[in-house]
Structure 1
Amino acid sequence: MTTTNTYEVIILFDGYSKETENATEANCTCTLINGPKKIIVDTMTAWDGPKLTKSLQDRKIDCDDIDYVICTHGHSDHIGCNYLFPKAIHIVGYCISHEHVYTNHDFNREYIIDESVKVISTPGHTLQDVSVIVQTDKGVIAIVGDLFENECDLKDDSIWKKAGSDSEVLQIQNRNKILQLADWIVPGHGSMFKVNKNV
């Protein structure tokens, strides 16, 4: 598919999740979509503001330059630095807002940002999960939050199930949909990986 809007997907921080003796240590993958629109997907925890701001500044981007903040779902390790972007439209799961104004959108249909970027409903981990689909020069990149924890959960489904799923049935359906749709996947707690279409 040829598009006129060229976007680059930049992983600002790879997410992780590991069990300790008494708790889980985790942070989400934080992604910049850079092009005609500037979009941050999943803003990590509330303690990550300085490093997120610096990462953007290193790329000559100010927080006020961000057009959209998209959080794949509303868990605290994915929404913590939303406050850094007061000029952006915020999409958190199915909720769309700017300042004190909330916009209704029926996520039974896609939320179109432009011809190269859209937000789709992918419930499972939570019932209001969304994924961001980006057409790029390297193929279709799907930024999916905790629909996929990391690449290892392709072979070991206990990884994503242990992370929590409001509907395992929906999560399996939407995982399969993304695997068919995407060339690359940015998971919630790991590095971007290439989809093997031969499996």
Structure 2
Amino acid sequence: MCAITIIHNGYSFMNNGEMFANCTCTLIKGTHNIIIDTMTAWDSEVILRGLRKENIHPDQIDYVVSTHGHSDHIGNNNLFLKATHIVGFSISHKDKFYIHPFENGEEYIINDYVKVIPTPGHTLSDVTVLVTSEDRKVHAIAGICCCLIVHQDGSENPVLQRKNRLMIANMANWIIPGHGPMFKVTPEIRESLNRQASIDINK
């Protein structure tokens, strides 16, 4: 059984021609304690305060997952020195790196409730964390893959990003995006993404 706590809701906006962004930081407590996306390097106290509220010490975190390697998603990974780190397609502990074929579409199983799947698009090594509850509801903690889910945003491969957005929307009941509050996946969202996928196929 897993409990999901959002430590910080992410955001992304333009103001006077300048971009401001920070990611959502999420804690999963259960068989393994997992923190997903550790914000910017200036946000350590935000994370530590959130962990204290959950009676979790950084040394009790088993996995750190950074959904991709941008600076607002990896800024406090060094708080968790006993954890295994997954940064995009890279898995490591200290100086030991583990080979896992994310690039072949293979998921990484953490436990019976949590797995990490490849969802490239925004970067070519993006991942998404899927958490399944006992009632079989699925939460997708999706980094950038499903940020602004029906709109275009910065992406190394927009077509692939839209494809993976649709895949996640078809798998999940709820999405925790990288830059915004959690939302329920509605039939309207799935229909919109299916329409966009059809446009991509017919181009």
Query: Do the two structures share a fold, i.e. TM-score over 0.5?
Result: yes
The equivalent position to 1:168 in structure 2, one of 158, 161, 164, is 158
Check the 8 A contact 2:65/2:87 in 1, yes or no. yes
User: Does 2:104 match 1:114?
Assistant: no
1:115 shift after superposition: 1.3
More helix by share: 2
The equivalent position to 2:141 in structure 1, one of 131, 140, 143, is 143
User: Does 2:181 match 1:191?
Assistant: yes
Cα separation, 2, equivalents of 1:47 and 1:137? 36
Q: Which amino acid aligns with 2:139?
A: I
User: Does 2:119 match 1:129?
Assistant: no
Q: Where do 5+ consecutive residues of structure 2 fail to align?
A: 192-203
Number of matched residues? 186
Q: Which amino acid aligns with 1:133?
A: L
1:94 is aligned to 89
2:66 is aligned to 71
Cα separation, 2, equivalents of 1:194 and 1:79? 26
1:15 is aligned to 10
Cα RMSD (Å) of the superposition? 1.2
After TM superposition, what 4+ stretches of structure 1 lie above 3 angstroms from structure 2? none
TM-score (norm 1): 0.90
TM-score (norm 2): 0.88
Cα separation, 2, equivalents of 1:177 and 1:48? 31
1:22 shift after superposition: 4.0
Cα separation, 1, equivalents of 2:134 and 2:110? 18
Cα separation, 2, equivalents of 1:69 and 1:84? 10
Cα separation, 1, equivalents of 2:184 and 2:53? 27
Identical-residue share of aligned pairs (%): 50
Cα separation, 2, equivalents of 1:60 and 1:174? 35
1:105 is aligned to 100
1:144 shift after superposition: 0.6
Higher relative contact order (CA 8 A, sep 6+): 1
1:3 is aligned to none
State the SS of the aligned residue for 1:40: strand
The equivalent position to 1:26 in structure 2, one of 7, 21, 29, is 21
1:90 shift after superposition: 0.2
Cα separation, 2, equivalents of 1:189 and 1:70? 16
